[in-house]
Structure 1
Amino acid sequence: MEREMALLESFIKSDIDARQLKRAIAVKMALSGKIYHEISQMLGVSNFFVGYWKKQFKTKGIAGIQLGHKGSKGYLTARQNTEVIEWLKNKEYWNLDELVTYLAQGFGVIYKSKQS
């Protein structure tokens, strides 16, 4: 139990997504003896949320409460991202069509949809 609490505390103090933080705090409170109803009211979640993430933590550890989706691989390198951001900073105003053209001509990134 102490090891689990220390693991959770370390995870909570790390730079994590708010959803993961809420899960970790709910699990920590449940493991420390707080009742689910109390936890759900304090965090604005359901009793099921508390029980589900506690079970995930107990069976899989920290990996059980982490986000599963990692996102897709970007089209630009870190250096190219920085270059685009600098280009945008030097603009007086931003225009989506101009950005799309800049990315296509400078980096070969073609957008299929302007909503993406």
Structure 2
Amino acid sequence: MPITPLQQQLCDKYGLPAQAPEPMIALATGTLAQEPIYGTRITLPENGTISWFIHCGEHSDASGFYQPLHASHLQELLPQAINYLALPSGAKFIIDRAGYEDVWVE
């Protein structure tokens, strides 16, 4: 997926290199009504297709917590997360619908 201008601006704001997102993400669809919104980008595993894991509210280790989805579905399901998808591997973010934002790399 190409990096959008807003995604590049967000990376520039935090002094991080932009990294094009994969077409697929892992989204905890059962948590979408909760806050805050958490995103973690791992290093893409060998032969892997997903580096972004996004959930809202409390995290769970339960099997099936995340569902693989095409990133384009974020536009309808969780548009607040779209601008963060070009953050590099190792990046994490926490945002809420009132404007709070924190981005860091572990």
TM-score range, shorter chain: under 0.3
TM-score, normalised by the number of residues in structure 2: 0.25
Which structure shows the higher helix fraction?
Answer: 1
TM-score, normalised by the number of residues in structure 1: 0.24
More RCO (CA 8 Å, sep 6+): 2
Which structure shows the higher strand fraction?
Answer: 2
